[in-house]
Amino acid sequence: MIESKQNKRVKQWKKLHRKKYRDQTEAFLIEGWHLVEEAIKSDWTIQTLIMVEDRERPEVWSHMDTIYVSQDVFKELSQTETPQGIMAVVRQNKLEFKPKYNKILLVDAVQDPGNIGTMIRSALAFDIDVIVLGKGSVDLYHDKVIRATQGAMFHIPIIQDDLELWINYCQQNEIMVYGTALDKGAKSLNQVDIQDKFAVMVGNEGHGVSSDYLEKADETVYIPIHEQSESLNVGVATSIVLYHFSLLT
């Protein structure tokens, strides 16, 4: 059992709270029973289970590399208010582009971890094949993103990549690209007639989808809302579009 916060492994784990170090090691930390269970059920690779001294590892996980740590060490690593005594170091999944991706969510510079988490959860719920997080979006492996996905991230392909490449890919493969906008010059969501293959682009909390990308969209859609309402939360708006499209395909 590790009892010292100065222990080399403890220091390495703690560094996983920083993006730079996550990128270098291609690993990240998850915390709490539910997330760890979801990761184990998935095809992601768990490198190490970290458990607090008094917790027992479930029998079915006995094959896993497990390290016990003291309460103090666990608290040092934890990023939650009421730690559950379990964490895992998980290897990042480096996915690539697959021709089977026909329902695509393109995310442009969404910065709030809760919003990204919501989008991932809803994309899984509404049968999206792949999510692409473009430049300027918060890191997928940020602890608040992971928590907000509630484990959904382990069950749907997610790629951090240049959106432009994906827009081009869609255009070359007869995948209709729908931009979302507040602009009422756009088409109302309930009038959109969609295809089996589609990509939905959603954008930053303040500015929406960048105009460079919007220009390349085959169609721009908006969600009709009450005049006194300024806008919807971007996680909500994305979810509504994906729900709507899921009914049509």
DSSP notation for 66-93: EEEE-HHHHHHH--SSS--SEEEEEEPP
Q: What is the size of the binding site for a second copy (CB under 8 A)?
A: 31
Q: What's the CA dihedral at 151, 157, 161, 166 to 10 degrees?
A: -140
- Please tell me whether residue 230 adopts helix, strand or coil conformation: coil
Shortest Cβ 239–a second copy spacing (Å): 4
Starting at the earlier edge strand, list the strands of the sheet with 158-160: 158-160, 130-133, 103-108, 198-203, 176-180, 219-222, 187-188
Q: Between 123 and 163, whose beta carbon lies closer to a second copy?
A: 123
Site membership for a second copy, residue 157 (CB under 8 A): no
- The span from the CA of 78 to the CA of 74, in Å, is 6
Candidate ranges 65-73, 131-139, 161-169, 227-235; the one touching a second copy (CB under 8 A):
227-235
Q: Report the run of H or E that residue 234 belongs to, with start and end.
A: helix 234-248
Of 34-63, binders to a second copy (CB under 8 A) are none
Residue appearing with tokens 């919501």:
118
Q: Tell me which of 4, 47, 243, 249 binds a second copy, using CB under 8 A.
A: 243
Site membership for a second copy, residue 118 (CB under 8 A): yes
Site membership for a second copy, residue 181 (CB under 8 A): no
Site membership for a second copy, residue 67 (CB under 8 A): no
Q: Tell me which of 6, 62, 172, 228 binds a second copy, using CB under 8 A.
A: 228
Q: Which residues bind a second copy (CB under 8 A)?
A: 114, 118, 121-122, 124-127, 150-152, 155, 190, 223-226, 228-233, 235-236, 239-240, 243-244, 246-247
